[in-house]
Chain A
């Protein structure tokens, strides 16, 4: 079956460290992969998009990598801050239709 899995439901790290979140997928060949942030009681907010022919994308303290051989995307937050605490979702376009599939999400807590 088709699946999008994100590493452990919850991740705790110390302020100032780099947080690394993973998104693994099976049975898809996505052309695009996106990352979103969701705060409690709010809708997801778009952060970054990476294309299948891009290895890496950066935006301020955020970095996304995309390895189509491993079927994996990594999402990094450098110099993490307590304000980065949220749930992070990956989403992909499976290239088989006009739809988006979301991963299971990782809840990140940055400890001061």
Chain B
């Protein structure tokens, strides 16, 4: 069973479109995250949710809106996509928000903006 699953795996779309990425974890974790990994492989945190509550928003444009319908799901909606949004987006989860817990990552969604 996949612990953290993201859909879709690949997303190719035109500039200006709106798209969503879904994430689900079956580990029973309280905390979920969205990361962006650019072409240089640098992994940067975007958002963190703990028990459906937003706890981190790292200066991400308003075009990005996370939604957590329950603690097992954290979706990411992106409005008015721009060329610079092309990247790999990773969802992750951990038992809680403390740094003494490992994070479990999905395999990423590769977003390409044409």
Contacting pair A46 B106 (CB below 8 A): no
Contacting pair B104 A105 (CB below 8 A): no
Contacting pair B56 A98 (CB below 8 A): yes
Contacting pair B41 A87 (CB below 8 A): yes
Q: Is A34 an interface residue (CB 8 A)?
A: yes
Contacting pair A101 B41 (CB below 8 A): no
Q: How large is the interface on B (under 10, 10 to 19, 20 to 34, 35 or more residues)?
A: 20 to 34
Chain A residues within 8 Å of chain B by Cβ, number: 28
Task: Give complex CA distance A45, B36 in Å.
Answer: 16
Q: Is B44 an interface residue (CB 8 A)?
A: yes
Task: Give complex CA distance A72, B48 in Å.
Answer: 26
Contacting pair B48 A44 (CB below 8 A): no
Contacting pair B43 A99 (CB below 8 A): no
The segment from A15-23, A61-69, A76-84, A88-96 that touches chain B is: A88-96
Q: Which residue of A lies closest to B94 (CB)?
A: A100
B58 to chain A, nearest CB (A): 7
Interface residues of B, Cβ cutoff 8 Å to A: 4, 31, 33, 35, 40-45, 48, 50, 55-56, 58, 90, 92, 97-100, 102-108
5 tightest CB-CB pairs across the interface, nearest first?
A93-B99, A43-B105, A46-B102, A98-B97, A32-B99
